[in-house]
């Protein structure tokens, strides 16, 4: 079906939306000025009924596909399924991505977000940890304001991976009459103890860095070591599987001439790879924004309900639930529990599992495996 599909080749423009007045969070905090970036691929039809919202994963942005310019080395994270004739067909659908509040990639020079690293109009200094705590519903409300700005009131679908999948579930609960279909990928509607424990370690690593200084590090030394450690922990949980790590690295040394038995400074290849990956990403991530995003993950229980089934009860949308077989941070059992709850309450729901050796990240890198299922689901 997709032999003639063409990946999205057009240049992508980062647009900016500013809310017309102060934004009140679900917890009662007030942010005087909210600005977020958004990207649009494809065009709205005359009825404005072909919009697909794509909330992004944890340490990503609205850049779902395409490039910003000829010199841009990297495409968007789901480039494999976006473009004319692709599952997310830009000749058929209008794809809309929005940079989340407190986006961790606030320092990459492209992402536009409001969060702890933003200037507080009341003080003229970055908010730091004085920024109000946010939750997934707050991200949904900002996205809804962007959609209203574009004249979109009904969504053909919401599709998001990981943290984006949590937003997908919340959209279906918050605005059931506005969302016809949902495709949560490598996600969960309910963050329980297993995930809470892992996320807390990410926050703890940053807080242990003396340069973090309680979040007041702007204008001084950045908490790079703590942030790098947090990102390493995230990648160990989200990217590595026992099989994948063994196949790619085994017990090879990072440097063939430097035996780890000779010095604590000598590393194994897998550790050197993780360190390089984390240090590279730390250059574009703001530590406080990262903390706030992880906290929003921790706080997530769909619909704010006390049980998963209660939280799912108001979802009326058709659902395609996608899991990754080797996922060790949001295991397939989480997605299966959500699917079972949907089926039990009478929703039209389908389950698909991606195979691979990159764990949680297979929901991004191997998403093409689910391409046929996504295309068929969106066309129903």
CATH of the domain at 130: 3.40.50.1820
| Between 306 and 4, the higher pLDDT residue | 306
Cα 115 from Cα 109, distance rounded (Å): 15
Residue 91 lies in a domain: yes
Instruction: Indicate which residue of 286, 327, 357, 362 is catalytic.
Output: 327
Task: Supply the angle between the helices 269-282 and 224-238 in degrees, to the nearest 10.
Answer: 120
pLDDT tens column, 137-187: 999 999 999 999 999 999 999 999 999 999 999 999 999 999 999 999 999
pLDDT tens column, 290-309: 999 999 999 999 999 999 99
In three-state secondary structure terms, 87 is coil
Among the candidates 265, 291, 317, a domain finishes at 291
pLDDT tens column, 120-138: 999 999 999 999 999 999 9
Residue 318 lies in a domain: yes
Give pLDDT, residue 145: 98
Number of domains in the chain: 2
Residue 112 lies in a domain: yes
Give pLDDT, residue 1: 45
pLDDT tens column, 313-327: 999 999 999 999 999
In this structure, are 323 and 206 located in the same domain? no
In this structure, are 348 and 225 located in the same domain? no
**Residue 120 CA neighbour count, 13 Å, CB half:** 13
Among the candidates 263, 291, 319, a domain finishes at 291
Name the band, by pLDDT with cuts 50, 70 and 90, for residue 70: confident
Domain that holds residue 253: 196-291
> What is the pTM for the complete model shown?
0.96
Give pLDDT, residue 69: 87
Q: What are the C-alpha distances in Å from 183 to residues 73, 145, 159, 170, 351?
A: 28, 21, 4, 12, 10
Name the band, by pLDDT with cuts 50, 70 and 90, for residue 6: low
The one-character DSSP state at 43 is -
Find out whether 353 and 321 touch, Cβ atoms under 8 Å: no
Give pLDDT, residue 15: 98
Give pLDDT, residue 291: 98
Find out whether 201 and 238 touch, Cβ atoms under 8 Å: no
Instruction: Indicate which residue of 117, 360, 362, 366 is catalytic.
Output: 360
In this structure, are 182 and 61 located in the same domain? yes
Active-site residue flag, 360:
yes
Instruction: Count the helix, strand and coil residues of the chain and give each as a percent rounded to the nearest 5.
Output: 40, 15, 45
Give pLDDT, residue 3: 45
71: pLDDT strictly greater than 80: no
Give pLDDT, residue 5: 65
Rg (CA), the chain: 20
Mean pLDDT of the region 4-12: 74
In this structure, are 20 and 155 located in the same domain? yes
Active-site residue flag, 162:
yes
Mean pLDDT of the region 334-355: 97
Instruction: Indicate which residue of 62, 117, 118, 162 is catalytic.
Output: 162
Cα 292 from Cα 248, distance rounded (Å): 33
Name the band, by pLDDT with cuts 50, 70 and 90, for residue 113: very high
| Cα–Cα nearest to 49, from 179, 163, 169, 172 | 179
Q: Which two tokens stand for residue 272?
A: 């050197």
Active-site residue flag, 72:
no
Percent of the chain surpassing pLDDT 70: 98
pLDDT tens column, 360-373: 999 999 999 999 99
In this structure, are 168 and 222 located in the same domain? no
In this structure, are 174 and 247 located in the same domain? no
Residue 155 lies in a domain: yes
Percent of the chain surpassing pLDDT 90: 93
Cα 352 from Cα 376, distance rounded (Å): 12
| Cα–Cα nearest to 77, from 47, 112, 39, 48 | 39
Among the candidates 268, 291, 314, a domain finishes at 291
As a whole number, the mean pLDDT across the chain is 95
Write the CATH number for 204.
1.10.1740.110
* Burial of 109: CB neighbours in 10 Å, binned 0-12, 13-18, 19+: exposed
Give pLDDT, residue 155: 98
380: pLDDT strictly greater than 50: yes
Cα 304 from Cα 155, distance rounded (Å): 22
Neighbouring-strand partners of residue 82: 88
In this structure, are 314 and 256 located in the same domain? no
267: pLDDT strictly greater than 60: yes
């Amino acid at each position: 079906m997709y032999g003639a599909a063409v990946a999205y080749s057009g240049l992508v423009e980062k647009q900016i939306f500013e809310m017309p007045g102060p934004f009140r969070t679900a917890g009662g905090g007030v942010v005087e000025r909210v600005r977020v970036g958004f990207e649009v691929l494809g065009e709205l039809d005359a009825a404005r009924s072909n919009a697909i919202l794509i909330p992004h994963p944890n340490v990503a942005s609205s850049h779902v596909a395409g490039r910003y310019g000829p010199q841009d080395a990297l495409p968007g994270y789901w480039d494999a399924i976006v473009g004319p004739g692709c599952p997310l067909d830009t000749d058929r659908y209008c794809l809309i991505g929005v940079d989340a509040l407190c986006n961790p990639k606030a320092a990459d020079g492209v992402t536009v977000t409001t969060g702890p690293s933003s200037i507080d109009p009341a003080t003229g200094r970055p908010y730091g940890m004085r920024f109000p705590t946010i939750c997934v519903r707050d991200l949904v409300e900002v996205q809804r304001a962007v959609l209203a700005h574009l004249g979109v009131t009904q969504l053909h679908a919401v599709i998001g991976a990981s943290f984006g999948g949590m937003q997908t579930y919340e959209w279906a609960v918050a605005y059931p009459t506005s969302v016809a279909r949902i495709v949560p990928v490598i996600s969960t509607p309910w963050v329980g103890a297993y995930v809470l424990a892992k996320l807390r370690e990410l926050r703890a690593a940053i807080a242990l860095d003396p340069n973090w200084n309680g979040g007041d590090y702007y204008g001084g030394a950045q908490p790079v070591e703590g942030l790098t450690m947090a990102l390493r922990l995230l990648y160990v949980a989200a990217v590595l599987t026992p099989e994948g790590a063994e196949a790619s690295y085994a017990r090879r040394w990072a440097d063939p001439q430097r035996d780890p038995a000779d010095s604590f400074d000598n590393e194994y290849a897998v550790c050197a790879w993780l360190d390089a990956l984390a240090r590279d990403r730390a250059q574009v991530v703001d530590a406080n924004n990262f903390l706030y995003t992880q906290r929003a993950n921790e706080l997530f229980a769909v619909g704010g309900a006390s049980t998963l089934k209660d939280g799912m009860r108001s979802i009326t949308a058709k659902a395609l639930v996608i899991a990754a077989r080797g996922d060790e941070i949001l295991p397939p059992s989480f997605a299966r529990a959500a699917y079972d709850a949907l089926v039990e309450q009478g929703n039209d729901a389908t389950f698909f599992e991606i195979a691979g050796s990159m764990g949680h990240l297979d929901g991004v890198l191997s998403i093409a495996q689910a391409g046929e299922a996504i295309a068929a689901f969106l066309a129903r």
